[in-house]
Amino acid sequence: MVDEGFQRWEQDFRRAAKADKYGILRDHLRKLDLPDCPKLLLEGTIHLVRACLAYASLDGQSPLKFLEMQKYNPDDRADVMYAVTFDLYGKAFARVLALRSITALDFADLYGHAWEGYEICGYSRLWISHTDGSRLAPEELVHLKMRVTGDLRFDYSEEELDLWFDDLSTEGALMVTVQDCQ
């Protein structure tokens, strides 16, 4: 059921991106000051959604609800609040849409995830932004920092993983840099 749903979603996502000439993906990259490589964002997003579905199943969450949220155009889902964009060490970028709680994302599992075809594991940075481009409120920043830190610290200690939060470098977004401790 999930595999069929994912295949349909992937076809629809690709079709929407091509019909839009990747405009929404290109605009998203531009807002985050990332390279103008919308096809990298498209492919990375497909890989990320597949990984998120697997982790949702393992965590006892509904993978189909998560999949239903992942629209090419974030405006197609009024209840979706955040775009969470991952930098897969410059090999690709990936964007998923999330509700306010962002509990559907397992940042620790994704940090340890081996990305098929990219020959890398995890991600180096991520950005959390509003889908409508508005600024994050101070109380949201506190909530998001706590959520990301709590999830990563559940699996990785301070001796294993460094985290940096930056809400000033990219307008309207919270950037999180993650790095193994040496």
Q: What is the pTM of this model?
A: 0.94
CA distance 132 to 151: 25
Residue 80's pLDDT is what? 79
Q: For residue 153, is pLDDT > 80? A: yes
Residue 2 — very low, low, confident or very high, per pLDDT cuts 50/70/90? Answer: low
Dihedral of the CA atoms 122, 99, 142, 45 (nearest 10)? Answer: 20
Domain residues of the chain, as ranges?
A: 2-180
- Cα separation, 143 vs 149, in Å, equals 10
Q: What pLDDT sits at residue 109?
A: 95
Q: What is the pLDDT of residue 147?
A: 95
Rounded-to-integer distance, Cα 124 and Cα 174, Å: 14
Query: In terms of residues, how long is the chain?
Result: 182
Check residue 18 and give its pLDDT: 98
Q: Which of 157, 175, 156 is nearest to 167 (CA)?
A: 175
CA of 74: how far to CAs of 68, 82, 157, 169, in Å? 12, 9, 34, 23
One-letter-per-residue 3-state SS of 95-134: EEEECCCCCCCCHHHHHCCEECCCCEECCCEEEEEECCCC
Rg (alpha carbons) of the chain, rounded to whole number: 15
